[in-house]
Structure 1
Amino acid sequence: MSGTDADVVVVGLGAWGACALWQLAGRGVRVIGVEQYGLANAHGSSHGESRMFRTACLEHPGLVPLARRSRQLWQELERETGTHLLDPTGAMLIGPPDGRIVGGALRAAREHGLDIEVLDRRELHRRAPAHQALAPGDVGVVEPAGGLTLPEMTIRAAVGAARAAGAGVLTDTRVTALELTATGVEVHTAAGRVLRAGQAVVTAGPWLGRLVPSLPLEVVRMPTTWFTPAKADERFTLRRLPVFMRELAGGDVIWGHGVLPGGTELKLGLEDGGRHFATVDPDTVERSVSPADWSVLARHLADAVPGAGQAPSRAVANIYARTPDGQFVIGRPGRDPRLLVAGGCSSHGFKHSTGIGEAVADLALGKEPAVPLGFTDPDRF
């Protein structure tokens, strides 16, 4: 398109935006990515050194094909960049068979024929002895295809591959407004620069609602914590404590994984479930972390994972955008050809980053995504 800076401007280069940039540039699209901070920063939703990967997606059955495709694309990005990004350590989901975590995983596995193994309480304790105080009816669902992804490295790899394919990248550039015009979109920055393009892809994470206020998003502050055991213990190695989610009596869910090779810390956290974490303004959120942020988690760990440590050795505040139904928003609000959004990760979106990047590129080019994503339509609200 003549008279424009790009055919597409991608606003926000967290994991979803970085992967969309990679996919668009790889198809020869004239594209610019804009990030308000530096790459792989700790301000939004795509940081924390490691993230859980699983295809037994309990959040929605339609996410299983997306996770499978994401795994393939993660491997493709690894080959293209020579970077290790996905560690298939296996994943474990623990709780009552009819609970939200295990029950959802079993439904996904049945519907999509996933390779899983179900462990009774005795075998679960034998394989993962760090898990204590298991309820009598608890079981474990082991997914061999699960594991860990590396968020900061994924962003750097995807943006690096996009640059190599010709994408422009602007960091430390805050977008303040999007103006839809007769010929496309104008992307206004805090420094006064205006980028003109045929369309904007907005993957701004917690700031998506600021730029597209019609979307029903709220921003949640979630502490992320690491614990250092008092002494080295085989129970806390990644091999014996693979990445997990565990539903406790009363409904709270803890998650985490064992010590990474060469490290000393367990990563352990508490899922919100709408009960523990505050909604915040992404620009004024409290970034420091206090004992109040981990007190509920620490009480649970004392029984569920004893010996992990009484207080975190390290903690940061993560923020993410959440939708009313906990599903993503991916598509064109009002079917407007000038605007495409992808957001509302609702704290379970990182594992799908590469697949969402591909789907966004498909939609930007007028193609149906390879994986059906109708349940993420932003006009469903």
Structure 2
Amino acid sequence: MEKSGRARSAVDVLVVGAGVIGLSVAWRCRQRGLSVTVVDPAPGSGASRTAAGMLAPVTELHYGEQPLLELNLASAARYPAFAGELEDVTGRSIGYRRTGTVVAAWDAADLAALRDLAGFAGTLGHPVQALTGRELRSLVPGIAPGLPGGLLAPDDHQVDNRRLHAALLAAVTGAEARLVDAPVARIDVGGGRARGVITADGTSLPAGTVVLAAGAHSGRVAGLPDADRPRVHPVRGQTLRLRMSADTMPPLIVRGTVKGSPVYLVPRATSLESGPPTGELVIGASSEEAGFDCTPRAGAVYELLRDAQSLLPAVSEAELVEVSTGLRPGSPDNAPLIGRSRTEGLVIATGHYRNGVLLTPITGDGVAALLADGALPPELLAFSPERFAPQEVR
């Protein structure tokens, strides 16, 4: 990655942000023959790193979010081809695993609520399988005794988000996009259109189109007209990474709500490099409205471990390897903002909240189609940034 420091000739597309969303946009734009620059002082250091990598369109379903469900399902359907292509291009595994997801009920009332949700999903054409307590224990042998049952979503899969980011970064550099390691001081807007960005050291990076994909920070980038400031806000999340023996690792993703607190456990592939077989278990995620403060909170770590152990007792014997904190880009309706802004030459791709990894393929494809062909694909039209009123600077 190169430093800024001198003026450059204009490129077709300049992407602000090198998380999985920004990189997927850059990669697909390069494949469409567009020249691309990506600007980010610390690629992959935000939500892309903290995420757990769940591809969970069904088990993330909430009442009233049917359009988002359809978008999530459409992106999930692209993942096998997307993963295969990315791995072929880069020679890097992204840890795509079609393991399915179990949602464990904590008590009888929780089980009834889960079955209501399953019925709702079924009315939308996406059935899940109800599980008895015995069936739950058969699927996840180490699950806590006494849980009354749950649900199985066989098509809710996972990817290793950090491997995904590394592969996308390799794909972008391999496609000869320019990466600039610098903070963006402001979007350069003049004459009613975005003309590029100015970096913190004063370097001008001109572009035909600027794609704003800076996650939770997208609304704070200077130079944006008030009418185009994305309606995103930071939602702090903490995830834990544990090392545990392969024989105690759950065979598929386990989710649940323990006394009102949601928790998930995502097993990574085991390693046989040295010593006895071990694997990584990702536990998440707290959800806190704390502004842009990324300070880890001890109470959140305790709560995640407590609730995870309540579902999978073997967690108590695992080695705590890492606590990571990041900011999800939330939006007023929990759905992404993808498309042209009111300012000519400025495209928005942010606000993916808890579905950023899942929506990586469809966002990259959609923005590249918009810039190469002049129109956003129909499945993304409902997620225009213009559906919200302008946001004031915070």
TM-score using structure 1 length: 0.83
State the AA in 2 paired with 1:52. Answer: M
Aligned-partner Cα distance in 1 for 2:179–2:203? 14
Give 2:252's aligned amino acid.
P
Aligned residues: 356
Given candidates 46, 49, 59, the residue that maps to 1:47 is 49
Tell me which residue corresponds to 2:69.
61
Matched, 1:278 2:289: yes
Q: Percent identity?
A: 21
Displacement, 1:373? 1.8
Instruction: Answer whether contact 2:83 2:96 (CA < 8 A) is retained.
Output: no
Opposite residue 365 of structure 1, the aligned amino acid is A
Deviation at 1:110, TM superposition (A): 5.1
Q: Which runs of 5+ in 2 are unaligned?
A: 1-7, 63-67, 272-277, 389-394
Match of 2:205 among 195, 203, 212: 195
2:87 alignment counterpart: 78
Who is 1:329 aligned against? 337
Cα distance in 2 for partners of 1:106, 1:352 equals 25
1:45 Cα deviation (Å)? 0.7
1:166: how far off? 3.1
Work out whether 1:142 is the aligned partner of 2:165.
no
Q: Which residue of 2 aligns with 1:8?
A: 13
1:227 Cα deviation from its structure 2 partner:
3.2
Residue 332 of structure 1: CA displacement?
A: 1.8
- Cα distance in 2 for partners of 1:223, 1:338 equals 35
Equivalent position to 1:261, from 270, 279, 287: 270
C-alpha separation in 2, matches of 1:50 and 1:365: 32
AA aligned to 1:174 is P
Taking the aligned partners of 1:351 and 1:291, their CA distance within structure 2 comes to 28
Q: Which moved more, 1:183-192 or 1:349-358?
A: 183-192
Q: In structure 1, list runs of 5 or more residues that go unmatched.
A: none
The answer to whether the Cα contact below 8 Å between 1:93 and 1:105 also exists between their aligned partners in 2 is no
Q: CA deviation at 1:307?
A: 2.7
**Matched residues in 2 for 1:83 and 1:264: separation?**
19
Given that 1:217 and 1:321 are in contact with CA atoms closer than 8 Å, whether structure 2 keeps it comes out as yes
Match of 1:186 among 183, 192, 196: 196
- 1:88–1:146: 8 Å Cα contact kept in structure 2? no
Q: How does 1:196-211 map to 2 (within 5 A)?
A: 196-211=206-221
Kindly indicate whether the alpha-carbon contact (under 8 Å) linking 2:10 and 2:208 is maintained by their aligned counterparts in 1: no
Letter matched to residue 327 of structure 1: A
Answer whether contact 1:52 1:146 (CA < 8 A) is retained. Answer: yes
Secondary structure at the counterpart of residue 198 of structure 1: strand
CA distance in 1, matches of 2:83, 2:377: 16
Would you tell me which structure has more helix in proportion to its own residues? 2
Other-structure match for 2:24: 19
Q: Answer whether contact 2:264 2:308 (CA < 8 A) is retained.
A: no
Tell me if 1:295 matches 2:302.
Answer: yes
CA pair 290-97 structure 1, distance change in 2 beyond 3 A: closer
CA RMSD of aligned residues (A): 2.7
Amino acid at match of 2:200: A
